[in-house]
Structure 1
Amino acid sequence: METVHSKDGTEIAFDGIGEGPALVHVGGALNDRGSGAALAGLLAPRHTVLSYDRRGRGDSGDAPPYAVEREIEDLAAVIETAGGSAAVYGMSSGAVLALRAAAHGLPITRLALFEPPFVPAHDDRVTRARAYNTELTALLADGHRGDALALFMTNVGMPAEMVRQMRGAPMWPALEALAPTLAYDSAVMDDAATGAELPEDLLGRVAVPALVLDGGDSPAWMRDIARRTAALLPAGTHRTLDGQTHDVDPAALAPALEEFLTG
């Protein structure tokens, strides 16, 4: 583990592995830097892969009040320690953070995104995203981390009975410790203001080469959003990984990333 300090002084922990051009991995909700370890190992022979704990997670620090701009500064600090510029891969809400960072002007050379979870305009998911943000905020304010975690899981489609079973599993305390950062992901998605609608203006400002990936077995609406995201990016392309879902297998993902990064 290594650390770097963000602009506001927050310590950000990261792991680096491999040799070659830098690639920074940005995890999604409930991910820490360990979530990218398997992918990093597959890419390491030709890339230096940096996986970091987003603020409030793992060994990274935190500093209230939260703002998406602070997370962009965190990513900027990791890119700086990687040599001043880097390719970036973002997963789910981490893909949206990476998009916001690229639009902000960070020195990102290439951008790879897996299933950014935007929602179509005028879809009932917009209303649900706003309602989710309101309920999540209230639960976390009252200290109900377990209930907030359960809310997130049911919101993304996990059956309620499965969530009840998970609450007794050994992994639950570690996940519950990450629950406050669910509010950070909700802010990255802009749930409260826009209901996570596809941000056409923001996407139009991302000029770097970008690859948007989805899984062939993911829900149709998520695959459609991936295609639409790619189409709105000035230098965007789209690719489907057959047989994959939102829980993408690193062994299926790594070759697609390798081809994009070296193409």
Structure 2
Amino acid sequence: MTELATSTRGDRVAYDRYGPADGGPTAVLVAGAGSLRGDDGIATTARVAADAGVTVLVPDRLGRGESAAEGRLDLDREVEGLRAVLAAEGGHGVLCGHSSGCSISLYAAAQGLAVDGLLLWEAPVAAPASQTAGWVDELERRIDAGELEAAQEWYMKDMPPEWLAGAKASPAWPVIYAGVVSLRADGQSLRWATAGLESGALREQVDVPVLATYGTSTFPAMVEAAERIRTVLPQTEVREVSGAHHVWDATAFASVLTGFVRSCGPTRR
């Protein structure tokens, strides 16, 4: 059954709750670009972790699925949505980010959400900060100009070309690029995270256990990014987990999530 939480900005965030009725350690899955809470890999991961006794919350990001939202969907607004979900379900937990959901999770921790730990899957934060900033500036320019198809193409420009070709060949392509407005938060978080990693500022902003993971078959930049996070954030462990093409193996990742969530004590904030 869909649960709803209302943020301080007035946004209603739809989420699914998996796990024991009497609570338990909590994780929130923070999706990256384009993912919905009902996607098979996400839902399977949540169910397997829930069967092991972890409460897993899976929200639709603002502007996606049942989390309908209009206007400027920026990073601070996105984080207020996450804050509302946590507040509705015990007030604290581990954030588990996928791709750009990792940088959103890092930013949420820096903004004072009651985060017990951060589990990051293939955080795309290896690029130089200036390069990322230029890419995000152009993304936002295209969104603001209403050039949504061009904005979606720009967002995917450094991904494997077959990913963009496959998306454009899909009958869902108009729906995909219409949803690019929700990627403003992703871009802003990546700009913030790469700058903070490069300057070392994240060391003072994020003070929780971090597990940075990547797949057994992945792009070298994902391994570099995990090591970059470990260099800056002293409470970071890096681990390879079964997965390929930027997607985790649901059963393997659920096991990692369960162990990490149980190892994280309640937030000190």
Q: Alpha carbons of 1:169 and 1:66: their partners in 2 closer, same or farther (altered >3 Å)?
A: closer
TM-score between the two structures when normalised by the length of structure 2: 0.85
Describe the SS at the equivalent of 2:85. Answer: helix
**Cα RMSD after superposing both structures:** 2.4
Gap change, CA 1:198 and 1:32, over 3 Å in 2: farther
Q: Which residue of 1 aligns with 2:17?
A: 16
How far is 1:196 from its partner? Answer: 8.3
Residue 149 in structure 1 maps to residue 152 in structure 2: yes
Give the partner amino acid of 1:41: R
Give the letter for the 1:179 counterpart.
V
Cα distance change of structure 1 residues 195 and 157 upon mapping to structure 2, 3 Å threshold: farther
Kindly tell me: are residues 34 and 63 of structure 1, through their superposed partners in 2, closer, same or farther at Cα, counting changes over 3 Å?
A: same
1:56 Cα deviation after fit: 1.6
What is the distance in 1 between the residues matched to 2:26 and 2:56?
A: 6
What letter corresponds to residue 137 of structure 1 in structure 2? E
Q: Deviations over 1:67-125 (max 9, x none)?
A: 4222221111111111111121111111111111112221111221112111244xxxx
Alpha carbons 2:32, 2:98 under 8 Å: kept: yes
Q: How does 1:1-263 map to 2 (within 5 A)?
A: 1-19=2-20, 20-35=24-39, 36-45=42-51, 46-121=53-128, 126-159=129-162, 163-190=164-191, 198=198, 200-242=200-242, 244-263=244-263
* Alpha-carbon distance between aligned partners in 2 of 1:176 and 1:214, rounded to the nearest angstrom: 27
Contact 2:73 2:184 in 1 (8 A): no
Against the structure 1 CA distance between its residues 63 and 8, is the aligned structure 2 distance closer, same or farther, given a 3 Å change threshold?
Answer: farther
Q: Measured at CA, do residues 68 and 250 of structure 1 come closer, stay the same or move farther in structure 2, by a change above 3 Å?
A: same
Deviation at 1:47, TM superposition (A): 1.2
Q: In the alignment, residue 145 of structure 2 is paired with which amino acid?
A: D
Structure 1: which amino acid aligns with 2:48?
L
Cα distance change of structure 1 residues 104 and 136 upon mapping to structure 2, 3 Å threshold: closer
Distance 1:137 1:205, change over 3 A: closer
Amino acid of the structure 2 residue aligned with 1:143: G
Runs of 4 or more above 3 Å deviation: 63-67, 193-199, 242-245
Q: 1:228 to 1:100 in 2, by over 3 A?
A: same
The TM-score, its normalising length taken from structure 1, stands at 0.86
Secondary structure of 2:16 counterpart: strand
Residue 164 and residue 210 in structure 1: after superposition, are their counterparts in 2 closer, same or farther (change >3 A)? closer
Whose RCO is larger (CA < 8 A, sep 6+)? 2
- Bigger shift: residues 13-22 or 195-204: 195-204
State the distance in 1 between where 2:194 and 2:255 align. Answer: 35
1:230 to partner: Cα distance: 2.3
Amino acid at match of 1:112: L
| Cα distance in 2, alignment partners of residues 196 and 107 from structure 1 | 20
- CA drift of 1:145 comes to 2.1
Equivalent-residue separation in structure 2 for 1:196 and 1:164 (angstroms): 33
**What are the Cα deviations for residues 21-62 of structure 1, in whole angstroms up to 9, with x where unaligned?**
221111111122223212111111111111111212211133
Residues in 1 aligned to 2:137 and 2:148: alpha-carbon distance in whole angstroms = 15
* Secondary structure at the counterpart of residue 154 of structure 1: coil
CA distance in 2, matches of 1:107, 1:195: 23
1:95–1:63 Cα change, 3 Å: same
Unaligned runs of 5+ in 2: 264-269
Maintained 8 Å contact 1:120/1:197? no
